[in-house]
Structure formats: structure tokens, C-alpha cells
Amino acid sequence: MNTSLQQPERTSEKKSERTTLDGSHMLLESLRRESVEVVFGYPGGAMLNVYDALYDGGISHILSRHEQGSIHAAEGYARVTGKPGVVLATSGPGATNLVTGLADAMMDSLPLVVFTAQVATTVIGSDAFQEASVVGITMPITKHNYQVRDVEQLPRTIKEAFHIATHGRPGPVLIDLPKDISAAEGKFDYDKPVQLRGYQPTTVPHRLQIRKLSNAIRQAQRPVILAGAGVLHAKASEELLQFAEFYGIPVVNTLLGLGAFPGGHSLWLGMGGMHGTYAANTALYEADLLINIGARFDDRLTGNLEHFAPQATVAHVDIDPSEIGKNVPTQIPIVGDAKESLSMLMEESVQIGDISVWRTKLQNLQEAYPFWYVEDGTGLKPQRVVELVHDISNGNGVVVTDVGQHQMWAAQFHPFRDPHKWVTSGGLGTMGFGLPAAVGAQIGLPNEPVFALLGDGGFQMTMQELSVLVDHNLPVKVVILNNAALGMVRQWQQLFYKERYSHSLIPKQPDFSKLAEAYGIPAFVVDSEEDAAAALQQSMKIGGPVLIDCRIAPMENVYPMIAPGKGLHEMVGVKP
């Protein structure tokens, strides 16, 4: 893999020694001070000063083929590394093309620092060429945003942006940079500490609240842990494992929390929610103590709130106090970092009652009602393809998905053992996310196998990013589960709209293998399990990217599921 650019000799070190820099060199020097190694972006007129400074080298740049590709790649990078992803885009349409990615990162709590160029300060508000009020547009979908009007404020602004993006609940921060500010010179000072009186996240929870939860654990007969992505953001997987094992409490993961607790562990019940396991949803429904650690009670997890955990005392551990009690009434609120909270809970080490009957019941349900599919001779089963991807990497690969049926099959049939190996768009549900996010994941983890499991619909939204795989020889294995349809839409039309398939079937698909070959990427077309297995084996012997077009059974549905408006206890399709 090659992520380095062939550029002239680096001159930026000389510039960094000066006390006076122009705005563009201030930006790059600030990124170096933040240990940024790679940025994702797309140049344009108002951003040319920054790209000219970038030409001096020192920081790798990944050129996407659309700004949406840049920001989803930065999300994939942030998701697998925990480091902030950095994005550059020009003004107007360049900036507005980032909007979906900003909303996606906001929903999934991913740390990004995004720089958008702006027209010169002298013409802001005049409808100048490629002007858009990106600060106004992005205010509701960023953790914070800035527009810089004084070049000497730029270093402080960048330092604050990295602080806000990575402290407390992670999220995207945008800096809008007018072109004349990027050219203006001023004093560079990056040494002042960040002091934000209005932003002091609580990381250490209150001891009394920890003791309340400990007492609740001591008295519980049917406790369950719900582990969300907050565990991953806090790097608290080891603490969660110790906590669950110490008390013997079963664990349910959210979709984004997969990998926070080792899949296959005897206490693991799998994913909860709309397409979760019967055991997980039974645990959430029948629990008398629900310990939510770093999950936001998304509606696809809870189902009908009237029937969600109706008998449970709810404890919610979250670094963002605004999440606690937002969707589900909470009796034990704990504001704090998941790692700190779990460590303090372990210090209490109360004596728990005998919950073996509860644990055994759930384990029996887990064994009796696993995820299933029927080999009925109707074609290549998508679930089997997911299993083959798991097997080919021995469960050690990074799996990146788009959104739709394939996303749910990947979540169901790939038991994630380790943290940060699962990259998906959970909150916003963004089609077109998968391929560029796989680019970022492979940049972030260059020595690990990365599989982009995509649907044919989402792939066609950002398939131009295949070029980036070729540019940098990224060994991403692109596996398209091709059912010639917008599968999840079609499934809902089948089940809830009397099979009226309004604009969800796409029978005349392009030949994805020829498309890949046009980019110089080896490709396979498979329609049987044997051919899919052989293609995956062959792909692993190829050092660069590979595309495998899997022609799957077109009418395959995702089961089990909870229909809209139903509760967790009303799953359908639990058994074939």
C-alpha cells in the first residue's frame, strides 16, 4: 500500500521555525502539532492556498473522487484508530457535499476535524462564486463550528477544534476558512493551553451514583448489560469483560457496539433490537435491572418504548448527560466515561445474588434460536457469503458495510471478537458510506485485511472511490451482495405494502466486474457458494484491491425482525 505522495523536497520544517506564517502554513503546522499523519480531501479554488502549502509535503493526502468520499473515509479512519479524521474541502458545493458525512459522524460520535474553504471575507454575504453559508448549514450537525476572521486566531481555533472533537463525547468540528485568511500572515502561537469554560465534560462519575448501581446489582435477579459504542470510544472493552465476568451478567450489544464484548463468549447474547437475537431481546424485555453502558437507546434497538424493559430498573452510564433519560426513563443516571465508570464499579465489588437460573435461561435461548437461513436451492445465500468472509480472515478482518440488508446480515453472521473491527453507519443509515469508509479503514490499519461488504444500491452511490483503491494500491476486498434491488426497501414493501415493489427493483444493473476492470481492479462474478469461496481465496493472494460481485438470492429477507410499532417480545421469523 502506498499512501505517500510523490512531492518535491519538504520545506515545511523551515517554515515551522518561523514565528510568522501565512494561514495555510499555520493550518499545516497545527496539524503536525496534533500528530496528524494523513488528511482526506478534494481541492478547489478557495482552498488553493492550503493545497499549495500541502505541496511542500510532510502530511499524506488522500484524494477522493467526491467530497462525500473524503468525509466517509475520514470516518472509517477514525472508527478503527480512535484518532480524529481530518478533511479538507473547498467552498460552496465542496463544503455542502460534506453535509451527509458530518451528520453521519455526529450521529455515530466520530471525532472529525473538517476544514472548509470560504470566499474571501470582503465578499462574504454577496453571493460570490461558490459561496455557501456552511457555518449556518452545519450548525445542527456538528459538535461545534467556527469561521475564522483573523489569521492569528487560526492556531487557537484549530487547537480548540481537536480538543472538542476528541474530549467528552466525540464528534465532528468544522472550521470555515476564508481564502484571504489562508493567505494572510500573522504570528503563529500553538503553545497556549485550551481553556473552554463552557465545555468541561465529566469523565469521572459521582461515587454515590456508582454505589446506587452497585446496590441494584446486589439485589437484581435478572440483570443484563447493554453495551454500546461508548465502550469502544472509551477503549473500555477490557473493563467491560472484567465487569461482566466478575458478576456473571449477560451482555447485549447494540449494532454500533459490536466488538465491544467478544462475540462467542458464554455471556454474550448477540445484538439486540430490530434484527437482533431472540435471546438478546428477551433479556432486554424481561430484565429487572438494565445496565446501559454507552448506548443511546436508539429506536431500532428499543422497538415500541411502551414495551421496552417494562420491569427493569434502568441504569445509564454515558459521558453525554443529554442522552440520559432522553428516550427511556432512567432511575440510576451515571454521567462519566465508560472506562472510569466500570473501573469504579469493580472497586465496589458487591456480593451478587444467585442469577444462575436467569443466565441459564438466556444461554438456552441463545442455543435454541440462533440466526438462521435455509439452503433451499434458490441461489447463493448472502448469509453464507458473510460466513465465508469471516472464515477467510479467521475472524480477524475489518468489516465495513454500507446500509441495508447486507449490513444486517453482516451484523448477524460475523461474530466480532475484537473492538474496532466493525465499521458501519448506524445512526444516520447512510447508503454510499461503505466503500469510502473502507478506504479510510485500510489507511488506518494498513496491515489488516479489510472487507467492504456492500449492497449493489449503496455501491453505486460512491463507486467512483474505486479509483482511490487503485491510486494507493489498497488491498480492500470489495464484496458486493448483489440482489438487483434496494433490498431492505423491497423487503418492507413485501411485508408491509402488499408486495407493491415501487421503484425498488433494479433488474438492469451494470456489469460491476467490467467496471472494476476499467479501474484496473481484478474482479470475479460468482453465483454459488463454491465459486464465492474460491474467489475469496484467490482474492487474498492478490496484493491490491479485488472486487467480487456475488449474485445472491434476490428474494432473501433479513430475519428475525420486529415490525414497526411492535415491542421486543413480538419478534417474527425467529424460527425457519
Catalytic (active-site) positions = 67, 129-130, 179, 488
C-alpha cell recorded at residue 559 = 430475519
Which of 287, 221, 205, 220 shows the shortest CA–CA distance to 251?
A: 287
Q: How distant, in Å, are the alpha carbons of 48, 113, 384 from that of 133?
A: 19, 18, 47
* C-beta neighbour count of 194 within 10 angstroms: 13
Please tell me whether the peptide bond between 201 and the residue prior to it is cis, using omega within 30 degrees of 0: no
Contacts of residue 195, defined as CB under 8 A and 6 or more positions apart, other chains included, come to none
| DSSP secondary structure letters along 450-502 | EEEEEEHHHHHHHGGGHHHHHHTT---EEEEEE-SB-HHHHHHHHHHSTT--T
Half-sphere exposure of 543 (CA within 13 A, CB side): 4
| CA dist., res. 258 & res. 330, Å (int) | 23
| CA dist., res. 576 & res. 574, Å (int) | 7
| DSSP secondary structure letters along 310-351 | TT-EEEEEES-GGGTTTSS--SEEEES-HHHHHHHHHHH-PP
CB 438 within 8 Å of CB 423:
yes
Which of 514, 501, 573, 575 shows the shortest CA–CA distance to 547?
A: 514
Phi/psi region, residue 47 (left: phi>0; alpha: psi -120 to 50; beta: rest), is alpha
For 480-561, where are the alpha helices, taking DSSP H only?
487-496, 512-518, 529-540
Half-sphere exposure of 551 (CA within 13 A, CB side): 14
Which of 78, 69, 7 shows the shortest CA–CA distance to 40?
A: 69
C-alpha cell recorded at residue 514 = 467490467
| CA dist., res. 158 & res. 416, Å (int) | 36
Q: At 117, which helix (H) or strand (E)?
A: strand 112-118
C-alpha cell recorded at residue 517 = 476492470
Beta bridge partners of 333: 316
